[in-house]
Structure 1
Amino acid sequence: MKLLIKAPAKINLSLDVLYKRPDGYHEVEMVMTTIDLADRVELSLLNEDLIKIYSHNRFVPDDQRNLAYQAAFLLKERFDVKQGVAIAIEKTIPVAAGLAGGSSDAAATLRGLNKLWGLGLSLDELADLGSEIGSDVSFCVYGGTALATGRGEVIHELPAPPTCWVVLAKPFIGVSTAEVYRQLQLGKVKHPHTKKMIEAIKENDFSKVCQNVGNVLEDVTLKLHPEVALIKDQMKRFGADAVLMSGSGPTVFSLVEHDSRMHRVYNGLRGFCDQVFAVRMLGERHINE
């Protein structure tokens, strides 16, 4: 048996860090939504009791470091599954980009193997398991739009945001999330208005969404990587309605309401940056089949 699952990327419309917790993690408030930029994860059952990872992307590990591998291993161990699986990952989401590509692959693996192995778990149960793999995996199990709190694993569902274009650009650099958090000085940052962003989404008010985008990690990454600031400036210059870095970066995205301006922003960035995408927000949650 084979199963093909889409694993969509996420963007942070708002990302706030409140304090460092006793367990070493940071307490966060993040408003996230999925976008129509997705990896494809193909799961094939094996007779032998093995987990195999296949990918043509040289930056995707094919061993225990891969989050999809960890997802399959967790299900096998927890539910004493003796059947193996081959996981083929076709990457479209840039790697190490602040778009939760690896987490989404893991979430797709959890959802797919739940079906293939007949485990009968709910999305809530899969999200709890996902929190053991990584902070973004729980959100990616559900998809859609949500406020994520705790270290990112406590998910509060929100309605879909106003429809618009999302133009993304990733420079050819990697960003260390750990280093960004290390350099974050919470006493000196300007915190985004999470409640106002949630209100804007609930009111389906595109202008208000644009006014309240914010990412407390952005200033740290901009200082470490000036090319990220250049992309932000380009997007603004070409007329984006709102511009923000996603996660710890380095991907920058713009929200654009009208088709003509989307083309202007997209074409303006293509000569400036390696990886540029123009996609729609998805906004709706996954269905547990």
Structure 2
Amino acid sequence: NASAINERRSELRTLEREVEQVDQKALQRRIDSLQAAAAQYAEGNEVMGRLLQGSNKWSDGLATVTGRMNDIQGLSIDQWSSEGETEVTVTGRSTTRSKVVGLAQQLEGEILELTFTETRDVSLYDFQLTVPLDTTKPAAIDYWREQQEQRLAAANDTAQSAAAETTATLEEAPPKAEVEPSASDTSVTAASVASTTEDSNAEGEPTVSGWTVVVASLAKSAAAEEVAQSFRDRLDSDEHPVRVRSAQNGRHRVGVGQFSSLEAARSALRDMNGVLPDEAWLLRISERNSQGSTAETTFPDPSPSARSLSGRSF
């Protein structure tokens, strides 16, 4: 009715006056500020994308394909399936043939099939093409490995320096004067030697030190055994035995192989690149042969921040 129309017109006139009172320059400054913040976030996302490129080749490949399709427009995906470890097959539809050709060129793919159909005077093209996946190793992983190698080398140098200082101290210590033991001292010494011999026999063989490659550190033993079994199925158990070791702080560590030196462990880690996860690290162990007790020392002990980079599958 007329009264309702007049009320709406009055509201519109009020809004027009409020709009006229808005400071246009202040509004433009806010718009510029928001655009600058959006550009900053976009640049940060681009940097992270370059660092983590290939961290998950499947999601990265899907993002690449959908991004190209959004740029071209007029394309849709019906099916996405893997073809081995290096490429995928994409099935979809397009409104024109040229868009399918352009998509294949941008993705460096190969068109396997292109079928023309017409539905209700609308032309559609069903296509099927293969797209190669980008399997480039993330730059963040190389950086993390370099940092780990430097920390390992520094820890090894520190241990060698401490051993050298201990040896020098023992060599500089003055020799003790030889005193002929009395009969009572002789009997006590003999008893001590016998006791020591019995304790040594009870404890078993001497301690053996070495290195192992840790592929997982889990709180529950059942989960650690499950991970260990998966690596036993993939690796040669004779050449690289897989064991679950109970470490400090209640963590069960899954170790692959046992090596006599740090260099041998590093070499094995490089040789098994692509088989072991990228967050694998080295652990120094010393165990008694007869009882199987293990004392573990990590050079260095990987922090959670260092391992956060490796939750990435290849």
| Common topology (TM > 0.5) | no
TM-score between the two structures when normalised by the length of structure 2: 0.22
Structure with the largest fraction of helix: 2
Pair member with larger Rg? 2
TM-score between the two structures when normalised by the length of structure 1: 0.23
Q: Which has the higher contact order (CA 8 A, sep 6+)?
A: 1
